[in-house]
Chains A and B, each alone.
Chain A
Amino acid sequence: NAGVTQTPKFQVLKTGQSMTLQCAQDMNHNSMYWYRQDPGMGLRLIYYSASEGTTDKGEVPNGYNVSRLNKREFSLRLESAAPSQTSVYFCASSSSPGRGPYNEQFFGPGTRLTVL
């Protein structure tokens, strides 16, 4: 099992460009999450998907959109990148949403994004 995979690992964008970060998991998990990690701050939730076909905003959703393509894949899109979106982005997944608090989250390797 590959676990949670993310592409790309690194990306440099110019202000105003768009891009999509891809995430896939092979653990048959229902819930998937996108976080961003900034220096001196904890992981902050951008969007999550409790099950296939549903998505909800987290703490910092502005400037992002998501798509839960199927049970395996959850993508994050930046429509018009801004320097404030320079960050490390982590995708995560966990088991059934009904037991959401009680199941650990499994994280991908991260995408380091720089917006110039």
Chain B
Amino acid sequence: ILNVEQSPQSLHVQEGDSTNFTCSFPSSNFYALHWYRWETAKSPEALFVMTLNGDEKKKGRISATLNTKEGYSYLYIKGSQPEDSATYLCAFWGNTGKLIFGQGTTLQVKP
């Protein structure tokens, strides 16, 4: 059984705070690691697809890093805004040929 774990499960921060959360995945048979943002009453939308050890991706105030050897990825949000409130999902693609999703980290940013 492949486990993809995300921590923390939920997070409350004040507007302007920077925050980060973790995705842990199997360190063997790695093909790709996906990050999705899922806002309430909407569909999940892709943030990043990461494929190389040491990869770093950035989109505005959101960035992600990848360590495939130890099996983790960090998602960082700099200067959180209320519109960043969402559930952030990571998903691991290994040798099963399909994405395995973590349970998500729910972020609430208070104005």
Which of B's residues lie within 8 Å of A, judged by CB? Answer: 4, 31-32, 34, 42-46, 49, 51, 89, 91, 93, 97-104
Which residues of B lie under 8 Å from residue A103 when comparing CB positions? 49
Which residues of B lie under 8 Å from residue A48 when comparing CB positions? 98
Q: Find out whether the CB atom of A101 lies under 8 angstroms from the CB atom of B32.
A: yes
Q: Find out whether the CB atom of A43 lies under 8 angstroms from the CB atom of B89.
A: yes
Which residues of A lie under 8 Å from residue B49 when comparing CB positions? 102-104
Which residues of B lie under 8 Å from residue A33 when comparing CB positions? 98
* A10-18, A67-75, A105-113 - interface stretch: A105-113
How many angstroms from the CA of A102 to the CA of B46 in the assembled complex? 12
Total inter-chain residue pairs, C-beta < 8 Å: 50
Q: Which 3 A-B pairs have the closest CB atoms?
A: A104-B46, A42-B101, A101-B31
Interface string of A48-83 (1 = CB under 8 A from B): 100000000010000000000000000000000000
Tally of chain A residues near chain B (CB < 8 A)? 23
Which residues of A lie under 8 Å from residue B97 when comparing CB positions? 100
A43 and B101 in contact, given A101-B93, A102-B49 (Cβ under 8 angstroms): yes
Q: Find out whether the CB atom of B98 lies under 8 angstroms from the CB atom of A58.
A: yes
Which residues of B lie under 8 Å from residue A105 when comparing CB positions? 34, 44, 46, 99
